[in-house]
Amino acid sequence: MPHFAPVRVRGGRRALHRLVAHRRRALAAGLAVTAAALVAAGPHPGSGGPDARRARGHPVADPVGERHGTRLVAAPVRIADAGTVRLLRPGDRVDVVATGAGGTGDASVIARGVRVTKVPEPEADPAAGGALVVVSVPRATAHRLVGAGTTERLAVTLC
Instruction: Check whether 129 has a pLDDT greater than 70.
Output: yes
Q: How would you label 91-112 residue by residue, b for 16+ Cβ within 10 Å and e otherwise?
A: ebebebbbbeeeeeeeeeebbe
Which residue in 103, 100, 84 sits closest to 158, CA to CA?
A: 84
How confident is the model at residue 92, as a pLDDT?
Answer: 93
Confidence of residue 135 (pLDDT cuts 50, 70, 90): very high
How confident is the model at residue 77, as a pLDDT?
Answer: 92
pTM of the entire predicted model: 0.53
How confident is the model at residue 62, as a pLDDT?
Answer: 45
* Mean pLDDT (the chain, rounded): 78
Instruction: Check whether 3 has a pLDDT greater than 90.
Output: no
Instruction: Check whether 76 has a pLDDT greater than 90.
Output: yes
